[in-house]
Chains A and B, each alone.
Chain A
Protein backbone atom coordinates (compact mmCIF):
# COMPACT_ATOMS: atom_id res chain seq x y z
CA UNK A 1 0.00 0.00 0.00
CA UNK A 2 2.58 2.54 1.11
CA UNK A 3 4.86 1.90 -1.84
CA UNK A 4 2.01 1.87 -4.34
CA UNK A 5 2.82 5.40 -5.42
CA UNK A 6 6.39 4.70 -6.47
CA UNK A 7 7.34 2.87 -9.64
CA UNK A 8 8.98 -0.45 -8.78
CA UNK A 9 11.35 -2.60 -10.73
CA UNK A 10 9.97 -5.90 -9.41
CA UNK A 11 8.69 -6.98 -12.83
CA UNK A 12 11.45 -9.48 -13.57
CA UNK A 13 11.24 -11.56 -10.35
CA UNK A 14 7.45 -11.50 -10.72
CA UNK A 15 7.64 -12.83 -14.27
CA UNK A 16 10.18 -15.53 -13.30
CA UNK A 17 8.00 -16.64 -10.41
CA UNK A 18 5.00 -17.08 -12.75
CA UNK A 19 7.19 -19.03 -15.20
CA UNK A 20 8.42 -21.27 -12.36
CA UNK A 21 4.83 -22.03 -11.35
CA UNK A 22 4.00 -22.88 -14.97
CA UNK A 23 7.02 -25.19 -15.16
CA UNK A 24 5.99 -26.93 -11.94
CA UNK A 25 2.47 -27.36 -13.28
CA UNK A 26 3.83 -28.81 -16.56
CA UNK A 27 6.07 -31.32 -14.74
CA UNK A 28 3.25 -32.35 -12.37
CA UNK A 29 0.81 -32.80 -15.28
CA UNK A 30 3.31 -35.07 -17.08
CA UNK A 31 3.83 -37.20 -13.95
CA UNK A 32 0.13 -37.98 -13.39
CA UNK A 33 -1.09 -41.03 -15.27
CA UNK A 34 -4.63 -39.67 -15.65
CA UNK A 35 -4.57 -36.44 -17.66
CA UNK A 36 -8.13 -35.64 -16.45
CA UNK A 37 -6.83 -35.06 -12.90
CA UNK A 38 -4.30 -32.41 -13.92
CA UNK A 39 -4.29 -31.40 -17.58
CA UNK A 40 -1.18 -29.76 -19.07
CA UNK A 41 -1.12 -25.94 -19.29
CA UNK A 42 -1.36 -25.93 -23.10
CA UNK A 43 -4.53 -28.05 -22.98
CA UNK A 44 -6.08 -25.49 -20.65
CA UNK A 45 -4.89 -22.65 -22.93
CA UNK A 46 -6.46 -24.45 -25.89
CA UNK A 47 -9.73 -24.72 -23.99
CA UNK A 48 -9.65 -21.00 -23.15
CA UNK A 49 -9.06 -20.25 -26.85
CA UNK A 50 -12.01 -22.44 -27.77
CA UNK A 51 -14.29 -20.77 -25.18
CA UNK A 52 -13.25 -17.35 -26.42
CA UNK A 53 -13.89 -18.31 -30.04
CA UNK A 54 -17.44 -19.51 -29.35
CA UNK A 55 -18.28 -16.33 -27.43
CA UNK A 56 -19.27 -18.32 -24.36
CA UNK A 57 -16.34 -16.87 -22.44
CA UNK A 58 -17.29 -13.24 -23.02
CA UNK A 59 -20.93 -13.71 -22.10
CA UNK A 60 -20.37 -15.61 -18.85
CA UNK A 61 -17.31 -13.63 -17.76
CA UNK A 62 -19.31 -10.49 -18.55
CA UNK A 63 -22.23 -11.63 -16.36
CA UNK A 64 -19.87 -12.40 -13.50
CA UNK A 65 -18.06 -9.08 -13.93
CA UNK A 66 -21.34 -7.13 -13.85
CA UNK A 67 -22.32 -8.91 -10.59
CA UNK A 68 -18.88 -8.14 -9.15
CA UNK A 69 -19.23 -4.47 -10.16
CA UNK A 70 -22.79 -4.10 -8.83
CA UNK A 71 -22.09 -5.67 -5.44
CA UNK A 72 -18.77 -3.81 -5.18
CA UNK A 73 -20.39 -0.41 -5.74
CA UNK A 74 -23.24 -1.26 -3.36
CA UNK A 75 -20.92 -2.53 -0.62
CA UNK A 76 -18.48 0.39 -0.92
CA UNK A 77 -21.25 3.01 -0.83
CA UNK A 78 -23.06 1.54 2.17
CA UNK A 79 -19.83 0.61 3.97
CA UNK A 80 -18.46 4.12 3.47
CA UNK A 81 -21.61 5.77 4.80
CA UNK A 82 -21.85 3.45 7.81
CA UNK A 83 -18.13 3.64 8.60
CA UNK A 84 -18.15 7.43 8.40
CA UNK A 85 -21.20 7.73 10.64
CA UNK A 86 -19.81 5.24 13.17
CA UNK A 87 -16.35 6.82 13.19
CA UNK A 88 -17.68 10.31 13.79
CA UNK A 89 -20.55 9.64 16.20
CA UNK A 90 -20.14 7.69 19.39
CA UNK A 91 -23.88 7.05 19.58
CA UNK A 92 -24.05 5.53 16.10
CA UNK A 93 -21.08 3.35 16.90
CA UNK A 94 -22.61 2.03 20.13
CA UNK A 95 -25.87 1.17 18.36
CA UNK A 96 -24.52 -0.34 15.17
CA UNK A 97 -21.38 -2.07 16.42
CA UNK A 98 -23.08 -5.31 17.61
CA UNK A 99 -24.85 -5.66 14.27
CA UNK A 100 -21.59 -5.16 12.37
CA UNK A 101 -19.79 -7.74 14.52
CA UNK A 102 -22.57 -10.29 14.01
CA UNK A 103 -22.61 -9.66 10.24
CA UNK A 104 -18.82 -9.95 10.17
CA UNK A 105 -19.03 -13.42 11.71
CA UNK A 106 -21.92 -14.94 9.75
CA UNK A 107 -20.45 -17.35 7.18
CA UNK A 108 -20.77 -16.16 3.58
CA UNK A 109 -22.65 -19.35 2.70
CA UNK A 110 -25.37 -18.69 5.30
CA UNK A 111 -26.00 -15.16 3.97
CA UNK A 112 -26.19 -16.49 0.41
CA UNK A 113 -28.60 -19.33 1.25
CA UNK A 114 -30.84 -17.07 3.34
CA UNK A 115 -30.91 -14.38 0.63
CA UNK A 116 -31.98 -16.94 -1.97
CA UNK A 117 -34.66 -18.37 0.32
CA UNK A 118 -36.05 -15.03 1.50
CA UNK A 119 -35.78 -12.99 -1.70
CA UNK A 120 -35.89 -15.71 -4.34
CA UNK A 121 -33.45 -17.15 -6.88
CA UNK A 122 -32.91 -13.85 -8.66
CA UNK A 123 -30.29 -11.22 -9.43
CA UNK A 124 -31.31 -8.96 -6.52
CA UNK A 125 -30.75 -11.75 -4.00
CA UNK A 126 -27.41 -12.66 -5.58
CA UNK A 127 -26.01 -9.14 -5.52
CA UNK A 128 -27.41 -8.36 -2.09
CA UNK A 129 -25.90 -11.54 -0.63
CA UNK A 130 -22.44 -10.61 -1.94
CA UNK A 131 -22.74 -6.99 -0.76
CA UNK A 132 -23.86 -8.08 2.71
CA UNK A 133 -20.71 -10.17 3.02
CA UNK A 134 -18.53 -7.21 2.13
CA UNK A 135 -20.29 -4.28 3.87
CA UNK A 136 -19.07 -4.98 7.43
CA UNK A 137 -15.45 -5.32 6.24
CA UNK A 138 -15.59 -1.93 4.50
CA UNK A 139 -17.42 -0.36 7.44
CA UNK A 140 -14.80 -1.42 9.97
CA UNK A 141 -11.90 -0.17 7.84
CA UNK A 142 -13.53 3.20 7.08
CA UNK A 143 -14.50 3.63 10.73
CA UNK A 144 -10.85 3.46 11.78
CA UNK A 145 -10.02 6.18 9.28
CA UNK A 146 -12.99 8.33 10.29
CA UNK A 147 -11.89 8.23 13.94
CA UNK A 148 -8.55 9.72 12.96
CA UNK A 149 -9.90 12.63 10.88
CA UNK A 150 -7.92 15.82 11.50
CA UNK A 151 -9.79 18.20 13.84
CA UNK A 152 -7.92 21.27 12.56
CA UNK A 153 -9.24 20.75 9.01
CA UNK A 154 -12.70 20.18 10.42
CA UNK A 155 -12.46 23.50 12.22
CA UNK A 156 -11.15 25.25 9.11
CA UNK A 157 -14.10 23.89 7.09
CA UNK A 158 -16.41 25.15 9.82
CA UNK A 159 -14.76 28.58 10.02
CA UNK A 160 -15.17 29.07 6.26
CA UNK A 161 -18.75 27.69 6.41
CA UNK A 162 -18.06 25.11 3.68
CA UNK A 163 -21.26 23.39 2.51
CA UNK A 164 -21.58 19.71 3.59
CA UNK A 165 -21.10 18.24 0.11
CA UNK A 166 -17.93 20.28 -0.50
CA UNK A 167 -16.65 19.34 2.93
CA UNK A 168 -17.25 15.63 2.27
CA UNK A 169 -15.59 15.71 -1.12
CA UNK A 170 -12.58 17.91 -0.42
CA UNK A 171 -11.93 17.55 3.31
CA UNK A 172 -13.25 14.18 4.51
CA UNK A 173 -12.90 11.76 1.59
CA UNK A 174 -9.26 12.66 0.77
CA UNK A 175 -8.35 11.85 4.37
CA UNK A 176 -10.07 8.48 4.02
CA UNK A 177 -8.35 7.72 0.69
CA UNK A 178 -5.89 5.17 2.18
CA UNK A 179 -8.73 3.25 3.86
CA UNK A 180 -10.93 3.48 0.77
CA UNK A 181 -8.12 2.22 -1.47
CA UNK A 182 -7.22 -0.60 0.91
CA UNK A 183 -10.80 -1.76 1.35
CA UNK A 184 -11.44 -1.48 -2.41
CA UNK A 185 -8.47 -3.63 -3.31
CA UNK A 186 -9.00 -6.15 -0.53
CA UNK A 187 -12.71 -6.08 -1.34
CA UNK A 188 -12.64 -6.71 -5.05
CA UNK A 189 -10.85 -10.05 -4.64
CA UNK A 190 -13.11 -11.14 -1.79
CA UNK A 191 -16.17 -10.13 -3.80
CA UNK A 192 -15.36 -12.07 -6.93
CA UNK A 193 -14.77 -15.24 -4.92
CA UNK A 194 -18.17 -14.87 -3.24
CA UNK A 195 -19.84 -14.02 -6.56
CA UNK A 196 -18.68 -17.40 -7.87
CA UNK A 197 -20.29 -19.20 -4.93
CA UNK A 198 -23.50 -17.23 -5.45
CA UNK A 199 -23.53 -18.24 -9.12
CA UNK A 200 -22.68 -21.84 -8.26
CA UNK A 201 -25.69 -22.04 -5.96
CA UNK A 202 -28.41 -20.17 -7.74
CA UNK A 203 -27.71 -18.56 -11.12
CA UNK A 204 -27.96 -19.92 -14.64
CA UNK A 205 -25.02 -18.04 -16.14
CA UNK A 206 -21.64 -16.66 -15.10
CA UNK A 207 -18.30 -18.26 -14.31
CA UNK A 208 -19.59 -19.86 -11.09
CA UNK A 209 -22.48 -21.50 -12.97
CA UNK A 210 -20.10 -22.90 -15.61
CA UNK A 211 -17.87 -24.32 -12.88
CA UNK A 212 -20.95 -25.94 -11.34
CA UNK A 213 -21.66 -27.75 -14.63
CA UNK A 214 -18.03 -28.80 -15.07
CA UNK A 215 -17.91 -30.03 -11.48
CA UNK A 216 -20.73 -32.51 -12.16
CA UNK A 217 -18.63 -34.02 -14.96
CA UNK A 218 -15.32 -33.69 -13.03
CA UNK A 219 -13.88 -31.65 -15.90
CA UNK A 220 -10.71 -30.20 -14.33
CA UNK A 221 -9.51 -28.73 -17.62
CA UNK A 222 -12.70 -26.67 -17.91
CA UNK A 223 -12.63 -25.56 -14.28
CA UNK A 224 -9.03 -24.35 -14.64
CA UNK A 225 -9.81 -22.62 -17.94
CA UNK A 226 -12.66 -20.58 -16.42
CA UNK A 227 -10.84 -19.83 -13.18
CA UNK A 228 -7.63 -18.69 -14.86
CA UNK A 229 -9.50 -16.48 -17.29
CA UNK A 230 -11.25 -14.69 -14.50
CA UNK A 231 -8.07 -14.34 -12.44
CA UNK A 232 -6.60 -12.59 -15.50
CA UNK A 233 -9.63 -10.30 -15.73
CA UNK A 234 -9.33 -9.31 -12.05
CA UNK A 235 -5.56 -8.76 -12.29
CA UNK A 236 -6.14 -6.50 -15.28
CA UNK A 237 -8.66 -4.47 -13.29
CA UNK A 238 -6.26 -4.14 -10.37
CA UNK A 239 -3.33 -3.19 -12.59
CA UNK A 240 -5.08 -0.79 -14.95
CA UNK A 241 -7.87 0.72 -12.86
CA UNK A 242 -7.25 0.45 -9.12
CA UNK A 243 -3.50 1.06 -9.06
CA UNK A 244 -3.48 4.06 -11.40
CA UNK A 245 -6.35 5.56 -9.40
CA UNK A 246 -4.42 5.07 -6.18
CA UNK A 247 -1.33 6.67 -7.72
CA UNK A 248 -3.40 9.62 -8.89
CA UNK A 249 -4.98 10.03 -5.45
CA UNK A 250 -1.55 10.04 -3.80
CA UNK A 251 0.05 12.70 -6.02
CA UNK A 252 -0.03 15.31 -3.27
CA UNK A 253 2.21 13.20 -1.02
CA UNK A 254 5.16 13.77 -3.33
CA UNK A 255 7.67 16.46 -2.42
CA UNK A 256 8.85 19.13 -4.81
CA UNK A 257 11.39 17.83 -7.29
Chain B
Protein backbone atom coordinates (compact mmCIF):
# COMPACT_ATOMS: atom_id res chain seq x y z
CA UNK B 1 0.00 0.00 0.00
CA UNK B 2 1.55 3.25 -1.10
CA UNK B 3 0.55 6.90 -0.82
CA UNK B 4 2.30 9.72 -2.65
CA UNK B 5 0.81 12.89 -1.29
CA UNK B 6 1.47 16.29 -2.81
CA UNK B 7 -0.78 18.40 -0.63
CA UNK B 8 -3.86 18.29 1.55
CA UNK B 9 -5.72 21.46 2.46
CA UNK B 10 -8.73 22.37 4.54
CA UNK B 11 -10.04 25.48 2.82
CA UNK B 12 -7.15 27.91 2.34
CA UNK B 13 -4.99 26.22 4.99
CA UNK B 14 -2.56 23.57 3.77
CA UNK B 15 -2.19 20.92 6.46
CA UNK B 16 -0.03 18.28 4.84
CA UNK B 17 2.86 18.87 2.48
CA UNK B 18 4.51 16.54 0.02
CA UNK B 19 5.17 13.16 1.60
CA UNK B 20 5.37 9.45 0.88
CA UNK B 21 4.05 6.62 2.98
CA UNK B 22 4.28 3.00 1.98
CA UNK B 23 3.52 -0.02 4.12
CA UNK B 24 3.32 -3.66 3.22
CA UNK B 25 2.10 -6.80 4.94
CA UNK B 26 4.05 -7.60 8.09
CA UNK B 27 5.57 -4.12 8.27
CA UNK B 28 4.81 -1.90 11.27
CA UNK B 29 4.92 1.87 11.15
CA UNK B 30 4.10 4.42 13.84
CA UNK B 31 3.25 7.99 12.86
CA UNK B 32 4.16 10.32 15.69
CA UNK B 33 3.60 13.99 16.23
CA UNK B 34 1.86 16.55 18.42
CA UNK B 35 -1.93 16.71 18.36
CA UNK B 36 -3.44 18.82 15.60
CA UNK B 37 -0.51 18.29 13.24
CA UNK B 38 -2.56 16.19 10.79
CA UNK B 39 -1.80 12.59 11.83
CA UNK B 40 -5.43 11.51 11.73
CA UNK B 41 -5.93 13.32 8.41
CA UNK B 42 -2.99 11.43 6.94
CA UNK B 43 -4.36 8.11 8.19
CA UNK B 44 -7.83 8.89 6.82
CA UNK B 45 -6.33 9.64 3.41
CA UNK B 46 -4.29 6.44 3.58
CA UNK B 47 -7.43 4.50 4.53
CA UNK B 48 -9.35 5.95 1.59
CA UNK B 49 -11.87 7.71 3.82
CA UNK B 50 -10.83 11.18 2.66
CA UNK B 51 -10.49 11.58 -1.09
CA UNK B 52 -10.15 15.35 -1.30
CA UNK B 53 -6.36 15.63 -1.65
CA UNK B 54 -3.71 16.03 -4.31
CA UNK B 55 -1.65 12.95 -4.85
CA UNK B 56 -1.79 9.27 -5.64
CA UNK B 57 -2.81 6.25 -3.61
CA UNK B 58 -2.22 2.75 -4.87
CA UNK B 59 -2.32 -0.83 -3.69
CA UNK B 60 -5.04 -3.43 -3.37
CA UNK B 61 -4.31 -4.57 0.17
CA UNK B 62 -7.22 -5.19 2.51
CA UNK B 63 -7.34 -2.52 5.17
CA UNK B 64 -9.15 -2.45 8.49
CA UNK B 65 -9.45 0.51 10.77
CA UNK B 66 -9.48 0.98 14.53
CA UNK B 67 -10.84 4.43 15.31
CA UNK B 68 -10.10 6.78 18.19
CA UNK B 69 -13.49 5.87 19.65
CA UNK B 70 -14.70 2.25 19.45
CA UNK B 71 -17.47 3.22 16.93
CA UNK B 72 -19.68 0.19 17.50
CA UNK B 73 -23.31 -0.32 16.47
CA UNK B 74 -25.08 0.26 19.81
CA UNK B 75 -28.23 -1.57 18.63
CA UNK B 76 -26.46 -4.82 17.78
CA UNK B 77 -24.84 -7.24 20.21
CA UNK B 78 -21.09 -7.85 20.40
CA UNK B 79 -20.96 -10.76 17.94
CA UNK B 80 -23.17 -8.95 15.42
CA UNK B 81 -20.85 -5.95 15.75
CA UNK B 82 -18.15 -8.14 14.24
CA UNK B 83 -20.17 -10.18 11.73
CA UNK B 84 -22.17 -7.30 10.23
CA UNK B 85 -19.37 -4.86 9.29
CA UNK B 86 -16.82 -7.51 8.32
CA UNK B 87 -19.14 -10.09 6.77
CA UNK B 88 -17.36 -12.93 8.60
CA UNK B 89 -19.30 -15.87 10.06
CA UNK B 90 -20.30 -16.20 13.71
CA UNK B 91 -17.65 -18.82 14.52
CA UNK B 92 -14.85 -16.53 13.28
CA UNK B 93 -16.29 -13.62 15.23
CA UNK B 94 -16.42 -15.68 18.44
CA UNK B 95 -12.86 -16.84 17.85
CA UNK B 96 -11.53 -13.27 17.53
CA UNK B 97 -13.57 -12.20 20.55
CA UNK B 98 -12.01 -15.01 22.58
CA UNK B 99 -8.53 -13.94 21.44
CA UNK B 100 -9.33 -10.39 22.54
CA UNK B 101 -10.35 -11.75 25.96
CA UNK B 102 -14.05 -11.16 25.41
CA UNK B 103 -15.34 -14.74 25.64
CA UNK B 104 -18.68 -14.78 27.42
CA UNK B 105 -19.61 -11.25 26.34
CA UNK B 106 -20.99 -12.27 22.93
CA UNK B 107 -24.63 -11.41 23.63
CA UNK B 108 -23.97 -8.06 25.33
CA UNK B 109 -24.84 -4.76 23.73
CA UNK B 110 -21.97 -2.23 23.54
CA UNK B 111 -23.33 0.02 26.27
CA UNK B 112 -23.38 -2.94 28.65
CA UNK B 113 -19.59 -3.21 28.23
CA UNK B 114 -16.81 -1.08 29.73
CA UNK B 115 -14.79 1.27 27.52
CA UNK B 116 -11.82 -1.13 27.66
CA UNK B 117 -14.03 -4.00 26.50
CA UNK B 118 -15.53 -1.86 23.74
CA UNK B 119 -12.05 -1.01 22.48
CA UNK B 120 -11.03 -4.66 22.52
CA UNK B 121 -14.21 -5.43 20.57
CA UNK B 122 -13.26 -2.78 18.00
CA UNK B 123 -9.82 -4.41 17.75
CA UNK B 124 -11.36 -7.88 17.35
CA UNK B 125 -13.64 -6.47 14.64
CA UNK B 126 -10.67 -5.06 12.73
CA UNK B 127 -8.81 -8.39 12.87
CA UNK B 128 -11.94 -10.33 11.87
CA UNK B 129 -11.90 -8.35 8.61
CA UNK B 130 -8.67 -10.27 7.85
CA UNK B 131 -6.73 -7.14 6.88
CA UNK B 132 -3.33 -7.07 5.23
CA UNK B 133 -2.69 -3.82 7.03
CA UNK B 134 -4.29 -2.65 10.26
CA UNK B 135 -4.80 1.10 10.57
CA UNK B 136 -5.18 2.44 14.09
CA UNK B 137 -5.85 6.01 15.16
CA UNK B 138 -4.87 6.58 18.80
CA UNK B 139 -6.49 3.28 19.82
CA UNK B 140 -5.04 3.43 23.36
CA UNK B 141 -5.91 7.03 24.17
CA UNK B 142 -8.19 7.62 27.17
CA UNK B 143 -7.43 4.19 28.63
CA UNK B 144 -5.77 3.80 32.01
CA UNK B 145 -2.09 2.76 31.88
CA UNK B 146 -2.71 -0.85 32.83
CA UNK B 147 -5.51 -1.40 30.30
CA UNK B 148 -3.49 0.38 27.61
CA UNK B 149 -0.49 -1.88 28.26
CA UNK B 150 -2.66 -4.97 28.00
CA UNK B 151 -4.27 -3.67 24.79
CA UNK B 152 -0.82 -3.03 23.27
CA UNK B 153 0.32 -6.55 24.16
CA UNK B 154 -2.89 -7.91 22.67
CA UNK B 155 -2.42 -5.92 19.46
CA UNK B 156 1.16 -7.19 19.21
CA UNK B 157 0.04 -10.79 19.68
CA UNK B 158 -2.83 -10.54 17.16
CA UNK B 159 -0.61 -8.81 14.58
CA UNK B 160 1.98 -11.56 14.99
CA UNK B 161 -0.65 -14.26 14.62
CA UNK B 162 -2.28 -12.79 11.51
CA UNK B 163 0.87 -11.43 9.89
CA UNK B 164 -0.83 -8.12 9.17
CA UNK B 165 1.04 -4.85 8.81
CA UNK B 166 0.31 -1.84 10.99
CA UNK B 167 0.02 1.92 10.66
CA UNK B 168 -0.36 3.35 14.15
CA UNK B 169 -1.11 7.00 14.72
CA UNK B 170 -0.16 8.11 18.21
CA UNK B 171 1.29 11.00 20.21
CA UNK B 172 3.10 8.59 22.50
CA UNK B 173 6.42 7.20 21.10
CA UNK B 174 6.43 4.44 23.76
CA UNK B 175 3.39 2.82 22.12
CA UNK B 176 5.23 2.56 18.82
CA UNK B 177 8.32 1.14 20.48
CA UNK B 178 6.26 -1.42 22.40
CA UNK B 179 4.81 -2.64 19.10
CA UNK B 180 8.21 -2.72 17.41
CA UNK B 181 7.09 -0.17 14.83
CA UNK B 182 9.34 2.02 12.68
CA UNK B 183 8.79 5.59 13.91
CA UNK B 184 7.97 8.39 11.48
CA UNK B 185 7.57 11.95 12.73
CA UNK B 186 5.06 14.33 11.29
CA UNK B 187 6.17 17.92 11.77
CA UNK B 188 6.45 21.34 10.14
CA UNK B 189 3.91 23.59 8.51
CA UNK B 190 2.58 22.19 6.23
CA UNK B 191 3.51 18.91 7.91
CA UNK B 192 5.92 16.41 6.33
CA UNK B 193 7.10 12.98 7.38
CA UNK B 194 10.61 12.49 8.75
CA UNK B 195 12.45 9.36 9.74
CA UNK B 196 13.72 9.47 13.27
Contacts and interface: CB of A to CB of B under 8 A. Distances in A.
Interface of A: 152-153, 155-160, 162, 166, 170-171, 174, 177, 249, 251-256
Interface stretch (B11-19, B71-79, B152-160, B166-174): B71-79
Contacts of A249: 75
Contact of B71 (A152, A170, A177): A152
Given A160-B86, A166-B84, A153 B73 contact: yes
Interface of B: 47, 49, 63-65, 67, 69, 71, 73-76, 80, 84-87, 108-112, 125, 129
A96 B80 CA distance: 36
Given A156-B71, A158-B49, A159-B49, A252 B84 contact: no
Q: Which 5 residue pairs are nearest across A and B when measured between Cβ atoms?
A: A256-B112, A160-B85, A174-B75, A159-B65, A252-B75
Given A155-B71, A174-B76, 7 more contacts: A152-B67, A156-B67, A156-B71, A159-B47, A159-B67, A177-B75, A254-B109
Contacts of A177: 75
A153 B71 CA distance: 6
B108 A171 contact: no
B74 A252 contact: yes
Contacts of A155: 49, 67, 71
B85 A256 contact: no
Contacts of B64: 159-160
A174 B73 contact: yes
